[in-house]
Amino acid sequence: MKTLKNVMLINAISSGATGLGLAIFPKVVAGLFETTATMPFIEVGIFLVAFAALVFSVSRGNPVNARAVRLVIVLDTLWVIGSAAIVLFQPFPISVIGYVFIGAVAVWVAAMAYLQSGGLRQMSVSK
């Protein structure tokens, strides 16, 4: 269970840091994506900060709430699916680097979901 808590803490920290970066420096990120639209970055940043707070809260539970962990895994999985669709269909006029960043973040989030799923399985076996 300690491993699950650590993975969730890493997820919370990385999500929160990314969210703060997007919300605080949207013009910089928009420049990397070669767009002038900053509001989508601010909105995603705010969502990620809220998500990070949820994940952090779940990671601090003693014992960890399995239903809450499942919710985090579902949200991570939806993020990966949405990101894959964006990279595959490229619906936005952004740079190649923007799409690469979206794909790279999706790989990271998929790793978090995978590790959290493993920790959840381990938690249910140890009961």
d(CA 112, CA 127): 23
Structural domain spans, the chain: 2-125
Q: Is the pLDDT of residue 127 over 80?
A: no
Q: pLDDT tens for residues 64-106? A: 999 999 999 999 999 999 999 999 999 999 999 999 999 999 9
Torsion angles phi and psi, residue 65, rounded to 5:
-80, 110
Q: pLDDT tens for residues 10-46? A: 999 999 999 999 999 999 999 999 999 999 999 999 9
Of the pLDDT bands very low, low, confident and very high (cuts 50, 70, 90), residue 124 is confident
d(CA 118, CA 16): 22
Q: pLDDT tens for residues 36-70? A: 999 999 999 999 999 999 999 999 999 999 999 99
